[in-house]
Amino acid sequence: MAVGNDTLPKLLPVPGLRLATVSAGVKTPGRKDLVLMELAPGANCAGVFTQNAFCAAPVAVAESHLGASQAQPRYLLVNTGNANAGTGETGLRDARACCAAVAEATGSDAAEVLPFSTGVIGEPLPVEKITAAIPAAVTGLDADGWADAAEGILTTDTRPKGLSVSFNCDGIDYVVTGIAKGAGMIRPNMATMLGYIATDAAVAPELLQRLLSEATDMSFNRVSVDGDTSTNDACVLVATGAAGNAVEQDAGSALALALRDAVQEVAVTLAQALVRDGEGASKFVTVAVEGGLNEQECLDVAFTIAHSPLVKTALFASDPNWGRLLAAIGRAGLAELDVDRVGLYLNDVLIAERGCRAASYTEEQGVAAMAAEDIVIRVCLNRGDAAASVWTTDFSYDYVRINAEYRT
């Protein structure tokens, strides 16, 4: 199940970056499960990675190689079907072996290869299958490979996710293209499951990292399917420089601001696409909290609602159960919350105020609001000027079925 439109938009090539997607048979024979991306010499790359203490071996190696290559890796290698997480020292050796195989097939250095894995936790990575498929991947590299790659990185996702945005600045045309995967174990912390965004602009490493961190904070760090933070979350932003502009370093420049908007648009669209494709999802829910003392308390309320199993099962049932929403707001840990000032809306319908059902509210209004696939739960704390939104889904029979049957 998934919510809304499932058509992958046309993904534009990013000059200076080529992709290939092949089948290595990591978990399912014949499945296209290995993606190789080649970055032009001199391309800069920024990354954000999971904050989970049990981070996967490829995350540790990718972070290390990103530093070792001075933010100029030449290749990104992504396999699905096996997360190479919970694999200890063996996992680190396996991740490095994959990098070495790419280096050998391309004449690059192993430290210039960043590895990424997603899939089952705790199983040894089938290194031989992956290394055997690398030569075909190298041969297949193509600037037009984004759509295949968007398919190749999926696990329990039901559809690929991607977006391209193009813009002109000072007479030069630029493009930003991104893809992402993830449907469960989704409560990213500084990164999504896996996300790859690239532009042909030339951007200095510090500015690139800042653009990625800001975009991640507004997108992947604002979504939750089930509150579980993956061991493998990673998101990278590549700037190939093929557009030919002078390397941009100034965060306040016209190009930096245009890039910021474009990267955020891609990141937010991808993050929302993760939620729309959430495991068992039948609703796409925006939880918008406003009138808070600061952004953090708005996020605390929003995530408490987004993580409440009682709220999520009510959403699944299209039940305008505002009592469960009030209960979630009440346990979000806000100091000195005056519940009499809290207003609660479903879409534009005021459903509760002054600690109880609004006088104007009718059950029919609530049922009508809940019937839509896209729902906005709006909480007005009425004690400050801060606001924040997160995006989430409902909890369905299918969520239980998928996660009872699937060995992540």
| Distance, first Cα to last Cα, the chain | 19
CA angle 273, 274, 275 (to 5 degrees): 90
- The stretches of 277-396 forming alpha helices (DSSP H) are 295-307, 309-316, 322-330, 363-371
* Cβ pair 101, 134 in contact under 8 A: yes
Rounded Cα distance between 398 and 396, Å, is 5
The structure tokens listed for 25 are: 């048979």
Site string for its own copies, 168-197 (x = CB under 8 A): ----------------xx-x-x--------
If DSSP codes are grouped into helix, strand and coil, which group holds residue 117?
Answer: strand
269 is in an annotated binding site: no
For the annotated catalytic residues, the residue numbers are 192
Is residue 122 close enough to count as binding its own copies by CB under 8 A?
yes
> Between 91 and 115, whose beta carbon lies closer to its own copies?
91
> Between 385 and 405, whose beta carbon lies closer to its own copies?
405
Using the contact rule CB under 8 A, the part of the chain among 125-133, 145-153, 172-180, 318-326 near its own copies is: 318-326
- Nearest Cα residue to 344 out of 284, 288, 283, 286: 288
* Cβ pair 193, 232 in contact under 8 A: yes
Rounded Cα distance between 405 and 178, Å, is 30
- The stretches of 162-284 forming alpha helices (DSSP H) are 205-218, 254-276
112 is in an annotated binding site: no
Tell the smallest beta-carbon distance from residue 401 to its own copies (Å): 8
Taking CB under 8 A as the criterion, the residue among 45, 223, 271, 314 binding its own copies is 314
Per DSSP, which regions of 200-251 are E strands?
223-224, 234-239
Taking CB under 8 A as the criterion, the residue among 316, 369, 391, 392 binding its own copies is 316
**Pairing between β-strand 44-49 and β-strand 356-357 as defined by DSSP bridges:** unpaired
Taking CB under 8 A as the criterion, the residue among 51, 70, 139, 294 binding its own copies is 51
Residues 349-408 touching its own copies, rule: CB under 8 A, are: 352, 354-357, 395-397, 399-401, 403-405, 407-408
Is residue 246 close enough to count as binding its own copies by CB under 8 A?
no
155 is in an annotated binding site: yes
Is residue 302 close enough to count as binding its own copies by CB under 8 A?
no
- Nearest Cα residue to 277 out of 368, 399, 378: 399
> Between 317 and 387, whose beta carbon lies closer to its own copies?
317
Query: Residues marked as binding for substrate?
Result: 155, 181, 192, 279, 403, 408
Which positions touch its own copies (CB under 8 A)?
A: 51-55, 83, 85-91, 120-122, 184-185, 187, 189, 226-231, 307-310, 313-314, 316-317, 319, 321-324, 326-331, 334, 337, 339-340, 352, 354-357, 395-397, 399-401, 403-405, 407-408
Binding site, by residue number, is: 155, 181, 192, 279, 403, 408
